[in-house]
Structure 1
Amino acid sequence: MSSSPPETETYEVTLSRDEQWVVHHVLANRLDEALDADERPPEWVLKAVETLETDGDTDRFTASQANRIYDALAAYVDHEETPDRDIDHGMVVLERLESVQDAQA
């Protein structure tokens, strides 16, 4: 991933329903982890979940959200217990995030 763009820059990322599900699953796990630790969930996670649930097929993520989603998703697809179907969809999302970030760099 390249240098950090301005916080207000957004990326349009087109995701299939299955790809959205995998990203949503990863973000929901982050929410659960925070709640289990009696912590306030990170604002970026809350906003990214809201984006996924309201934007439809094309989601608009800030550069910061896209970077954090990328990192969380990369860790998820590398996890030994992640189902193959999630790995396949997760890898597509990782590639898509890289390509939209490269296109706007």
Structure 2
Amino acid sequence: MSSSPPETETYEVTLSRDEQWVVHHVLSNRLDEALDAQDTPPEWVLEVLEAIETEENTERLTGHQADHVYDALAAYVDREETPDRDIDPGSAVLDRLENALEARA
């Protein structure tokens, strides 16, 4: 992925229930890790979790949020211990995010 898009630019990303679950799982783990380390969780994690929990299948993400979700999800999908059931939905979200972010160019 290239340079970060402007903060005000937003992207609509439609997620299936399974895709929402995988993104929620990854971000919840990120939140828990920060809290366990007694750190303040990144604001983007809280914002995206809130969007997933309140919106219906379509998440509206800023470029900054989309970049971070992409990076966190890519790391999760590439881990050897990631459950097989999460690989396909996670990869589908990665493809969708990549397409949305590339369309800005």
Q: Same fold (TM over 0.5)?
A: yes
In 2, Cα distance between equivalents of 1:33 and 1:4? 25
Query: How big is the shift at 1:11?
Result: 0.6
Aligned to 1:51: 51
Percent of residue pairs bearing the same amino acid type: 72
Number of residue pairs matched?
A: 105
Partner of 2:76: 76
Structure 2 length-normalised TM: 0.96
Question: Which shows bigger deviation, 18-27 or 48-57?
Answer: 48-57
Question: Any gaps of 5 or more consecutive residues in structure 1?
Answer: none
The alpha carbon displacement at 1:102 in A equals 1.4
Structure 1 residues 1-105: aligned runs within 5 Å: 1-105=1-105
Cα distance, 1:2 vs. partner?
2.8
Length-normalised TM-score, structure 1: 0.96
| Counterpart residue identity of residue 36, structure 1 | D
Moved segments of 4+, more than 4 Å: none
Gap regions ≥5 residues in structure 2: none
